Amino acid sequence: MPLPDRPMPDSVALRVGRQLPKPVLAALEQQETSHRNVHTLSRLLMTGEMPADARRAVQERVAVDLGRHAAANKMLAAYNPGLIVRIGGAR
């Protein structure tokens, strides 16, 4: 689904959101959250020194978020393959 050139008004976004089933809306929210967390935590891992136990905890959190991202993508792909988001890539 191509993104509009201009921002979508909140009232239009609300109407569009009401048309989607609740599990799909939940998957979209989970996908966006996990996508943001993976990018944030990945940057944290790439910058500076970190104690081994802290690094391990961050790596475990990234693995959990990637799992959540994959589960959300699976739900979205079943509903509409155009909603899939790839980590580090375009929609």
pLDDT (0 to 100) of residue 90: 46
pLDDT (0 to 100) of residue 64: 92
pLDDT (0 to 100) of residue 2: 58
Using a 10 angstrom Cβ sphere, with 0-12 exposed, 13-18 middle and 19 or more buried, the burial of residue 1 is exposed
**Where does the pLDDT of residue 91 fall: very low under 50, low under 70, confident under 90, or very high at 90 and above?**
very low
Does 70 have pLDDT greater than 70?
yes
**pTM for this structure?**
0.68
Per-residue pLDDT tens over the stretch 23-56: 888 888 888 888 888 888 888 888 868 888 888 9
Quick check: 90 and 3 in contact, CB under 8 A? no
